[in-house]
Structure 1
């Protein structure tokens, strides 16, 4: 999978974030993040009723939410910043020998198309060996899953000094809390591109999608999904 989606160069000199970008872009560790638990009760029961993969469903809804927020589609490339018109994803895949690999999957607003594609990607990666990440591919979200851990905090391994700006989202073990199904989620973003308001919008949109709400009118955020 290659970066073939349309992208637009940001004119940094006239960008409203120019000072924020200049301030954060050269930090040795410019990523910041939050951890929370989203309510996924309606989505969980819907998947059980329809015999759908709950994992594929919430992954799809998170990517729909991320595509709605332009700040999640910003990427730093050299000295420039681009806004991608569309982003896809990559997710960690556990193999039988307890190693893991990365499976890339394409974005589709339609869940059936998305589910079919990710099923193929996951199956292929489970049969592979070694670790061969594609560092040239940046029009995506980096996803990880810890299905055995109901975490309340998360810290990524980091190589200081690298220039990547890809958002990182991690899901934990879903669980019951006061009769509701909750899903731990950690979101880390590059502060030169993305602030608290943008992560807050993502969480709200993601939770609205899991509640089977219409995201187009949810708090006025977004106009291009479901």
Structure 2
């Protein structure tokens, strides 16, 4: 993974970053309902799993903006060239989950192959981490879902006192409205790195990719 340092003096968000990270540390979250009618149809026609599609689409569109990829590495502020999805693998036997990650790939089918390989190798491994031999990569961000419930809002907040600027993304149970299928989607972000403008651009690009997902198969 490539890490590029940020010069706070020349970065347009430099003063905003300092204010919202040092003077008034602030995060925010919001939940929107995303139309996934066409995406579910394409998924069923191609006979592929929905969850890895969701992981890939969210990660692909977060990766379009460097503000979502900001982090500290050895005390240096910068951004990674790409984020890696860190997600929950649910265990039916004891109703617990373990964290798993699959390195992002630009081609969906490449990512899908890695996802399936991870599931086959580590899917039954219990404990906090499915892949205990290696820690999650430094560019891993949290993205998951609660498929059993529909929610109007969901927020994840870290209470550990450390600099963490990646977004957290959570999806909920599908629901029907006016003949369309929707999915609740919650984003929790750090205000030091992103504003509503960035979230809106992410959501608009995500909607475009959802509508035309068949082109990635």
User: Could you tell me the TM-score, scaled by structure 1's length?
Assistant: 0.85
Residues 29 and 161 in structure 1, CA contact (< 8 A), matched pair in contact too: no
Question: Is it true that 1:25 corresponds to 2:42 in the alignment?
Answer: no
The match for 1:54 among 37, 50, 56 is 50
Cα shift readout 1:109-151 (whole Å, capped 9, x = no counterpart): 2111111111222344431122148777331321121001111
Question: Is it true that 1:130 corresponds to 2:111 in the alignment?
Answer: no
Residues 138 and 166 in structure 1, CA contact (< 8 A), matched pair in contact too: no
How far off is 1:58 after superposition? Answer: 2.1
> 3-state SS of the aligned residue for 1:34?
strand
The match for 1:111 among 83, 108, 112 is 108
The match for 2:6 among 7, 10, 13 is 10
Instruction: Name 2:166's counterpart in structure 1.
Output: 166
5+ residue gaps, structure 1: 216-224
User: Could you tell me the TM-score, scaled by structure 2's length?
Assistant: 0.88
The match for 1:41 among 32, 37, 40 is 37
Distance, in Å, in 1 between the alignment partners of 2:25 and 2:116 is 34
Distance, in Å, in 2 between the alignment partners of 1:81 and 1:34 is 26
Instruction: Name 1:218's counterpart in structure 2.
Output: none
Instruction: Name 2:117's counterpart in structure 1.
Output: 120
Distance, in Å, in 2 between the alignment partners of 1:54 and 1:10 is 36
- 1:52-131 equivalent positions in 2, closer than 5 A: 52-77=48-73, 79-96=75-92, 97-131=94-128
5+ residue gaps, structure 2: none
